């Protein structure tokens, strides 16, 4: 079985695959201060709860945008699973061509999402990933990763606003009954939820204008349902898109792990 790990700034998503079947998945809060041993205990508990054991995991792959945890999860796989994990980078066989100025600066999670879009969905595709940032990534009809654009994530934007506005308080991220709020909470909810809905619709329209054709819009990430419920611009919601991309990348690179281990040891 394959353990796929997506280490993000806000959340860590893990999944165990038996071939193409996702047998179990979990979402953890990101905590760079946690030690390898602590994450290993957490993983062991979840595996046991899913009636799986570490011994059934023969391979591991991960993407990480948190350098400190890149080391942590590599050590976890090495020491507790006995597996040298495959780390996603632009140097692997990706299934998509990175048609950007500097392929090395493309985030590993974006690469995994693009691989999943290319392998599982019709193209062209626009991937909207609602995380710490709201990422828009574009895969062309020919399977080229063309780049994209970033906006502050919903929670990141709210946190920034509340940190600077002394009289505003935290609120639930749910859509109010109408756009014109009649109290402070309704105003905050309307501006946030409907504002991000309009952001998605506007950027999708601009991207499609540049592509010269309509694209399948795939939504993923922790808050995707909050926005997808408000717009028809997001046609597919796939909460496991990044994990599926990791699975496909593992299949495309079956013999890379040993070489990666030797290279990292020399470094």
Helices (DSSP H) in 50-144: which residue ranges?
67-80, 108-120
By residue range, what is the domain housing residue 234? 121-245
Kindly report the CATH number assigned to the domain that includes residue 73: 3.30.420.40
pLDDT tens digits for range 108-163: 999 999 999 999 999 999 999 999 999 999 999 999 999 999 999 999 999 999 99
Res 83: pLDDT: 86
Is the same domain home to 163 and 224? yes
- Kindly state whether residue 253 falls inside one of the protein's structural domains: no
| Same domain flag for 147 and 219 | yes
The answer to the question of residue 33 being in a domain is: yes
Domain membership flag for residue 255: no
pTM value is 0.91
CA dihedral (176, 197, 8, 51) positive or negative: positive
Catalytic residue among 18, 31, 37, 109: 109
Q: How far apart are CA 28 and CA 42, in angstroms?
A: 9
Please name which of 110, 63, 114 lies closest in space to residue 87, comparing C-alpha atoms: 63
Per-residue pLDDT band for 256 (boundaries 50, 70, 90) equals confident
- Tell me if 104 is assigned to some domain: no
Distance, in Å, from the CA atom of 210 to the CA atom of 35, rounded to the nearest integer, reads 45
The domain boundary residue, chosen from 68, 87, 106: 87
User: 266: pLDDT confidence band, cut at 50, 70 and 90?
Assistant: very low
Is the residue at 78 inside a domain? yes
Domain presence at residue 229: yes
Q: Are 126 and 228 in a shared domain?
A: yes
Strand pairing report for 125-130 and 21-29: unpaired
Q: Are residues 238 and 134 in the same domain?
A: yes
Does the active-site annotation cover 109? yes
Number of structural domains the chain divides into: 2
From residue 175, give the alpha-carbon distance in Å to each of 159, 163, 212: 18, 22, 32
User: Going by DSSP bridges, is the β-strand pair 11-18/21-29 parallel, antiparallel, or unpaired?
Assistant: antiparallel
């Amino acid at each position: 079985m394959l353990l796929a790990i997506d280490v993000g700034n806000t959340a860590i998503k893990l999944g165990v695959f038996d071939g193409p079947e996702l047998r179990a998945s979990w979402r953890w809060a990101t905590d760079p201060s946690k030690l390898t041993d602590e994450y290993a205990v957490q993983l062991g508990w979840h595996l046991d709860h899913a009636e799986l054991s570490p011994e059934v995991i023969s391979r591991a792959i991960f993407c990480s945008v948190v350098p400190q945890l890149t080391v942590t999860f590599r050590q976890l796989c090495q020491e507790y699973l006995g597996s040298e994990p495959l780390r996603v980078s632009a140097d692997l066989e990706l299934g998509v061509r990175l048609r950007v100025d500097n392929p090395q600066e493309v985030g590993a999670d974006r690469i995994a999402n693009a691989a999943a879009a290319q392998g599982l969905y019709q193209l062209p595709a626009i991937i909207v990933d609602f995380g710490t940032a709201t990422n828009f990534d574009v895969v062309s009809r020919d399977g080229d990763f063309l780049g994209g654009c970033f906006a502050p994530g919903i929670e990141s934007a709210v946190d920034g606003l509340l940190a600077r506005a002394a009289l505003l308080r935290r609120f639930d991220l749910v859509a109010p009954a109408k756009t014109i709020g009649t109290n402070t909470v309704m105003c905050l909810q309307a501006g946030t939820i409907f504002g991000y809905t309009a952001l998605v619709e506007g950027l999708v329209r601009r991207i499609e204008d540049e592509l010269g054709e309509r694209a399948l819009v795939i939504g993923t990430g922790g808050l995707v349902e909050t926005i997808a419920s408000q717009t028809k611009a997001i046609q597919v919601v796939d909460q496991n898109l990044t994990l599926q991309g990791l699975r496909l990348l593992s299949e495309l690179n079956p013999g890379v792990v040993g070489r990666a281990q030797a290279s990292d040891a020399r470094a």
